[in-house]
Amino acid sequence: MASSDLEQLCAHVNEKIGNIKKTLSLRNCGQEPTLKTILNKIGDEIIVVNELLNKLELEIEYQEQTNSSLKELCESLEEDYKDVEHLRENIPSHLPQVTVTQSSVKGSDLGPEEPAKVEERAPIKKPPKEQRSIKEMPFITCDEFNGIPAYMKSRLTYCQINDVIKEINKAVISKYKILHQPKKSMNSVARNLYHRFIDEETKDTKGHYFIVEADIKEFTTLKVDKKFHVLLNILRHCRRLSEVRGGGLTRYVIT
């Protein structure tokens, strides 16, 4: 065996022996009453620091999402501003002239042979059919989010919860647009969905807006998994929805 290999082997063995001595020394320190109390305090401090790091991680994630939303809003406002500037700089030179009605012209202002201009009445248009409004779920406020128990929201952020509300509202609107649509204008897909919606209604959901898991899968990109059901528990806690069960189906009613 070469001398260099022997030296490396000796160094390796000495390192292992040194580690064992340090471990035994630390174990012995842990048995001493005074040091044991200090070690317990250090352990408690480590737990507190870990919890603070978790909260900091959630806050950073929330701030990043808020920053992203603000950037999108800023870009949208810049586009709107450009459109307004374009309209202001390109006002049509010829705008419709205001017609003068007979009642607004004084007799003394008209010549003896100058008849007053009478404004022609536009034909009365039939008022458009009133569109039925669809109830949507309000977003969670910051105060409500802070009031959700920590065990319930876990690592979920304020933005994640409201993103799910946005998707649920999308499903509600899509469903009830079909229900409010005239049957004659429905295609085969819409007609099949319409009949399913009617079959899922019960006396307890009469007059209420509700969806089921099939609607979430049909109209949104959400995954109906464990995380989704955790979010539903939060929405029930915040009184955004309630559940009506029956016939092997869970109906999520917008409250």
Q: Tell me the three state secondary structure of residue 15.
A: helix
Can you tell me the distance from the alpha carbon of 179 to that of 187, in angstroms, rounded to the nearest whole number? 13
Q: Which residue has the higher pLDDT, 81 or 99?
A: 81
Q: How far apart are CA 229 and CA 236, in angstroms?
A: 10
d(CA 180, CA 75): 36
- Write down the pLDDT at residue 144: 94
CB-CB contact of 172 with 254 (8 Å): yes
Asked if the model's pLDDT at residue 28 lies above 80, the reply is: no
Mean pLDDT for the stretch of residues 112-116: 51
Tokens of 219: 């109209």
pLDDT tens by residue, 57-90: 888 988 888 888 888 888 888 888 887 887 777 7
Tell me the average pLDDT across 127-132: 60
The pLDDT value given to residue 23: 79
pLDDT at position 1: 58
Distance (Å, whole) CA 24 – CA 220: 59
pLDDT over 90 at 114, yes or no: no
Q: How high does pLDDT run on average in the chain?
A: 83
Burial code (b: 16+ CB inside 10 Å, e: under 16) for 192-222 equals ebbeebeebeeeeeeeebbbbebbbeebbeb
- H/E stretch holding 92 reads none
Q: Does the structure show a pLDDT above 60 at 115?
A: no
Which distant-in-sequence residues (6+ apart) come within 8 Å of 148 by Cβ? 234, 237, 238
The whole-angstrom separation of Cα 190 and Cα 229 is 28
pTM surpassing 0.75? no
Residue 252 host element (H or E) = strand 249-254
Q: Tell me the per-residue pLDDT of 131-180, one tens digit each, with 9 for 90 and over.
A: 678 999 999 999 999 999 999 988 899 999 999 999 999 999 999 999 99
